[in-house]
Chain A
Amino acid sequence: MSAQFNILWLQSGGCGGCTMSLLCAEGPDLITTFDSAGIRMLWHPGLSEETGSEALAVFERVRSGELRLDALCVEGSLLRGPNGTGRFHVLAGTGRPTIEWVRELSALAEHVVAVGTCAAYGGVTAAGNNPADACGLQYDGRREGGALGAQFRSRSGLPVINVAGCPTHPNWVTETLMLLAAGLLGAQDLDAYRRPRFYADHLVHHGCPRNEYYEFKASAEKLSDLGCMMEHLGCLGTQAHADCNTRSWNGEGSCTRGGYACINCTAPEFEEPGHAFLDTPKVAGIPVGLPTDMPKAWFIALSSLAKAATPERLRRNAVSDHLVVPPTVRDIKRR
């Protein structure tokens, strides 16, 4: 492991929100985190001093091999349109489509990191009729391919590392980069969609404060209700791979803690669920999407049993925006 881990950061067809989220890193803050891990930002479009020709001079030093590129971080989807020209994003000052810059610099990088679901799979920019012909670095939705192609491997031998999320949690990004800098992230540490397993081997359901409502199928009927949002409000927390409810966001937050559904933003094609985001599609009253690893028959059996067993407290609280009935306080010495 060398003393310094050099990162170059490029943005294309995205919203910049993963950088904005990254700046929310805490305990320690982003700059301290990077300093302590020996991570050096060669250039970042939002944070570096260099602009215009000064920035391009940094790119040139990377191209010439004068600066070692340990990780190329790409934020935002890659735009192939119109008509395969890539001209929906020409990198300012260069006359050259950003997708071409990304392909060239990827070939020079020890690691290539997709920051956010757009860079990983195409994301929201690829939604609807995909006007800009957007794709991810190595995926086009769920299919391998994308801007770099299925065969791509960076100099380290790894495929693109997909730190998916819309946006990414700051620590998903910092921990991925710190692991890479420390030489501790290998192919076995990535899941089926090449997301780092340290956060993708969890489900958003884990640690969700609405778990008791889930257990008894005490469901929220409208937004701001306290109940489980899986049955009626489109929540995919039982299927979404991320540790949002055990790690928490911006202090104490997460989507379900904020009172709205998890929309599975770490997954490819989350942007096109095939129905309104905040509705749960059902067949014969049963939600179409089942909890991860749950056999359908058991889900149906347990759900109907759970519904029959729902305590009055949960039944009433589930459809209220505040606690109507608190949990009973029992004398713990009495059995």
Chain B
Amino acid sequence: MSEAQGSAGDGVTRLIVGPFNRVEGDLEVRLDIANGAVAQAHVSSPLFRGFERILEGRDPMDALVIAPRICGICSVSQSQAAALALAGLQGLEPTRNGRIATNLIVATENVADHLTHFHLFFMPDFARAAYAGRPWFAKAEAHFKAGRGTSARRLLEARATLLHVLGLLAGRWPHTLAIQPGGVTKRAESRDKVRLLATLGAVRAVLEDQLFGAKLEQVAALAGRAELDAWRARGPDGDFRLFLEIAADLDLAHQGRAYDRFLSYGAYPAQEGALYPAGVHVAGETGVFDPADIAEDHTFSRMEERAHPHHPFQGSTVPDGADETGYTWCKAPRLSGLPFETGALARQVIEGQPLIRDLVAWAGGNVFSRVIARLVESARTLIAMEAWVRALEPEGSWCAQGQMPVRGRFAGLTEAARGALGHWVEVEGGKISRYQIIAPTTWNFSPRDAAGVPGPLEAALVGAIVHRDEPTPLSVQHIVRSFDPCMVCTVH
């Protein structure tokens, strides 16, 4: 049964929460509760499919069909990671148009995911009856009640409109073959460019009217916490302000802090550098990221090869259904032996967006800063997308051709909405001989490692307040959903 309430001794109660919904895929969280707070958390990804094994032995280009189908919400991010790896194997550079169009395709998915998360997954928790006494409740209920909130419904329409960008540039979403190692399969004509701008303009209008009550540029330019306080006090009115009110009332900025170690592989490559660069951010300092420092630990994962951690190029995926020490199918990725948090917050703090830097310096990564980072990033990315559409050159070339080598290996690293996504691909005899994937939520929802160090969510849940007779503690729900987990990617 869910929430098997039981005693774990010493006044500790155990709570098992699942099925944990309004996340992508299935999730179970085991909580040890003492003195009205979470003392320990174990996070379990209960679904194993084995995509890394499915990819073995196939033609390398088949990865573009199989890999996107790991995930229906990060589909084109998976395409891009595969395409980057295949391009690297071939020593192929995408065309300028191909790179820009790929950025547009990936950005569309990422912005759609951020908006879906805020409106459909995260905010409905504040419309729960348990909050009926709060001053903001009536508005939260009217705007975000699951299945009927007015803001959620309008967003659903705007999201469908936004995804027209993919109808035009990628054929459809999810699961497109438009992103190729050398660029994209579909040329955009001038007529497509003006249509794309109209589509983006329609989405901009909904966000500026309903979500922010302000121009996207004003959101992107937010430079410090004091400006957020002023926005909360004086407006402009919109769901952003409503969230600021709720967050202040419930002190969301002091819930769900993990290690404050952030990782980004870099998003949206361009000649002059990525829009959001690769790097790490630890203890207030931004530094370089070296993929050689990544290793996956299987100690508490139901996987064989538990003796020591492996770099993904030496990695394996051999499920061990009899393993009783393991409590999840998720492996434990570590950078230089340490757990890292990844996502919009990591991208924005590493890039140096002033508001996000200020929020992280103040209270680190938490429910509040993760959600704010996603909204600020949505505004910034939409602005960038409009410029990318204008930069497309219909008369230029779109898809460069390459030759797949008989053997080689390459890592395709990119950023999905939820953070750092990597595909480590090895080819032998013209076929895929090894394919290892680390997805964003593999980082965020990793289990403990050999040293017993919990993953970021496991750490973030410690100290979460649990009220008596709360079968599914609301604080736990806010913290879990603040990461915008994608469980189907996590294990793949």
Residues on A facing B (Cβ under 8 Å): 11-21, 23-26, 29-32, 41, 44-56, 79, 81-83, 85, 87-95, 98, 123-125, 127-132, 134, 166-167, 222-224, 248-261, 263, 265, 271, 276-279, 321-322
Taking the nearest CB of chain A, how far is it from the CB of B216, in angstroms? 22
A321 engages B19 (CB within 8 Å): no
A251 to B161, alpha carbons, bound, how many Å? 8
Do B167 and A128 touch across chains, with their CB atoms under 8 A apart?
no
Question: Which listed residue (B28, B55, B172) contacts A128, Cβ 8 A?
Answer: B55
**Interface residues of A, dominant DSSP:** loop
Flag whether B21 is at the interface (Cβ < 8 A). yes
Residue B383 lies at the interface, judged by CB distance under 8 Å to chain A:
no
CA distance A321 to B186 in the complex (A): 8
Q: Are B69 and A257 in contact (CB under 8 A)?
A: no
Show 20 A/B contacts (Cβ-Cβ < 8 Å), sorted by A.
A14-B488, A29-B157, A31-B156, A45-B19, A49-B145, A51-B20, A53-B472, A81-B321, A88-B47, A92-B2, A93-B19, A131-B54, A250-B163, A250-B164, A250-B173, A265-B175, A271-B66, A277-B64, A321-B187, A321-B399
With a cutoff of 8 Å between Cβ atoms, the chain B residues found around residue A14 in the complex are 72, 488
Cβ contacts under 8 Å, B24 to chain A: 16, 46
Contact across chains for A224 and B168 when beta carbons are under 8 A apart: no
Residue in chain A with minimal CB distance to B180: A223
B44: Cβ under 8 A from any A Cβ: yes
Partner of A278, one of B148, B177, B184: B177
Closest A residue to B394 by beta carbon equals A322
Find A89's partner among B26, B120, B185, B472 (CB 8 Å cutoff).
B26
**A128 to B, closest residue via Cβ:** B54
A222 x B471 contact (CB < 8 A) = no
A256 to B48, CA, bound (A): 32
Indicate if B380 sits at the interface (CB-CB under 8 A): no
Interface positions, chain B 112-152, Cβ under 8 Å from A, are 116, 120-121, 124, 127-128, 145-148
Asked if residues B146 and A49 are in contact (CB atoms below 8 Å), the reply is yes
Beta-carbon contact of B65 and A277 below 8 Å: yes
Asked whether A224 and B160 contact (CB < 8 A) given A93-B16, A128-B53, the answer is: no
**Structural contact, B167 and A31, CB atoms closer than 8 A:** no
Contact indicator B166/A253 (Cβ below 8 Å): yes
Are A258 and B128 also in contact (CB < 8 A) when A85-B321, A92-B20 are?
no
Chain B residues with CB under 8 A of A256: 171
The answer to whether A25 and B47 touch (CB under 8 A), given A47-B146, A93-B28, is no
A-B pairs, top 6 by smallest CB distance, nearest first, are A258-B171, A17-B72, A93-B18, A92-B18, A131-B50, A250-B167
B169 contacts across to A, CB distance below 8 A: 258
For residue A277, which residues in chain B have a CB less than 8 angstroms away from its CB?
59, 61-62, 64-65
Per-residue CB contact flags for chain B residues 61-92 toward chain A (1 = under 8 Å, else 0) read: 11011100111110100000000000000000
Q: How far is the CB of A61 from chain B (nearest CB, A)?
A: 15
A17 to B27, CA, bound (A): 17
Q: Is residue B419 within 8 Å, beta carbon to beta carbon, of the partner chain?
A: no
B183 at the interface (CB under 8 A from A): yes
Residues of A within 8 A of B1 (CB): 56, 93-95
Q: Which residue among B1, B50, B153 has the maximum number of chain A CB atoms within 10 Å of its CB?
A: B50
Question: Nearest chain A CB to B143's CB is how many angstroms away?
Answer: 14
Among A41, A249, A259, A278: residue with most chain B CB under 10 A: A259
Please name all residues of chain A whose beta carbon is closer than 8 Å to the beta carbon of B56 when the two chains form the complex: 128
Say whether B93 faces chain A, with CB atoms less than 8 Å apart. no
- A29–B164 alpha-carbon span in the complex (Å): 14
**Partner among A16, A224, A279 whose Cβ is within 8 Å of the Cβ of B73:** A16
B49 interface residue (CB < 8 Å to A): yes
Bound: A263/B47 CA distance, A: 27
Measured CB to CB, the nearest residue on chain B to A127 is: B54
B contact residues around A79 at 8 Å (CB): 47-49
Determine the chain B residues whose CB is within 8 A of the CB of A82 once the complex forms: 319, 321
- Is B49 within 8 A of A125, CB to CB? yes
Give every chain A residue within 8 A of B22 (Cβ-Cβ): 45-48, 51
Name 15 extra pairs, CB < 8 A, besides A88-B49, A167-B72, A259-B185. Answer: A29-B160, A51-B20, A52-B472, A79-B47, A91-B19, A94-B1, A132-B50, A250-B167, A254-B172, A257-B171, A258-B177, A258-B185, A259-B186, A277-B62, A321-B399
Q: Mark each residue of chain B from 1 to 29: 1 if its CB lies under 8 Å from any CB of chain A, else 0.
A: 11100000000000011111110111110
Measured CB to CB, the nearest residue on chain B to A15 is B72
| B472 smallest CB distance to A (angstroms) | 4
Contact A23 B2 (CB under 8 A): no
Question: Does B398 make an interface contact (CB < 8 A)?
Answer: yes
Given A25-B160, A250-B173, is A92 in contact with B26 using a C-beta cutoff of 8 Å? Answer: yes
Q: How far is the CA of A249 from the CA of B172 in the complex (A)?
A: 6
* Nearest chain A residue, comparing its CB with the CB of B187: A321
A198 to B123 Cα, complex, angstroms: 37
Instruction: Tell yes or no: B159 within 8 A of A by CB.
Output: yes
Contacts of B177 in A (CB 8 A): 255, 258, 260-261, 263, 278
Which residues from chain A contact B124 at a C-beta distance below 8 Å? 49
Q: Is B210 an interface residue (CB 8 A)?
A: no
Q: What residues of A have a CB within 8 angstroms of the CB of B316 in the complex?
A: none
> Is B352 at the interface (CB under 8 A from chain A)?
no
How far is B53's CA from A252's CA once the two chains are assembled, in angstroms? 35
Alpha-carbon gap, A76 to B116, bound state (A): 21
CB atoms of B72 and A19 under 8 A apart: yes
Complex partner residue of A30 from B55, B64, B156, B166, CB under 8 angstroms: B156
Task: Report how far A251 CA is from B127 CA in the complex, Å.
Answer: 32
Query: Is B170 on the interface with A (CB-CB < 8 A)?
Result: yes
> How far does the Cβ of B360 sit from chain A's closest Cβ, in whole Å?
29
B472 & A16 in contact (Cβ 8 Å cutoff): no
Q: For residue A261, which residue of chain B has the nearest CB? A: B177
Which A residues are CB-close (under 8 A) to B55? 128
Nearest B residue to A18, CB-CB: B72
Residue of A nearest to B189 (CB): A322
Chain B nearest Cβ from A119, distance in angstroms: 13
Nearest chain B CB to A249's CB is how many angstroms away?
4
| Chain B, Cβ-Cβ closest to A278 | B61
Contacts of B59 in A (CB 8 A): 276-277, 279
Contact A52 B319 (CB under 8 A): no
Say yes or no: A259-B171 contact (C-beta < 8 A), given A23-B156, A52-B471: yes
A331 to chain B, nearest CB (A): 26
Tell me which of A128, A166, A258 contacts B57 (CB under 8 A).
A128
Given contacts A166-B175, A223-B185, A259-B186, contact A13 B49 (CB under 8 A): yes
| 8 Å CB contact of A92 from B46, B58, B187, B394 | B46
Give the residues in chain B near A131, CB-CB below 8 Å.
48-50, 53-54, 319
Q: Is the CB of A258 within 8 A of B2?
A: no
Residue of A nearest to B486 (CB): A16
| Min distance, Cβ A23 to any Cβ of chain B, angstroms | 6
Please give, as numbers and ranges, the residues of chain B lying within 8 Å of A129 by CB-CB distance.
53-54
Within 8 A of A (CB), among B304-348: 319, 321, 329
- A322: which B residues are within 8 A, CB to CB? 187, 189, 394-395
Question: Per a CB cutoff under 8 Å, which of A32, A41, A224 touches B183?
Answer: A224
> A19 contacts which chain B residues (CB < 8 A)?
72
Give every chain A residue within 8 A of B147 (Cβ-Cβ): 31, 41, 47-49
B286 within 8 A of A: no
Chain A nearest Cβ from B391, distance in angstroms: 18
Within 8 Å CB of B73, what residues of A? 16-17, 20
Residues of A within 8 A of B148 (CB): 31
Query: Closest CB of chain A to B292's CB: distance in Å?
Result: 28
Judge whether B44 and A49 touch: CB under 8 Å: no
> What is the CA–CA distance of A89 and B28 in the complex, to the nearest angstrom?
11
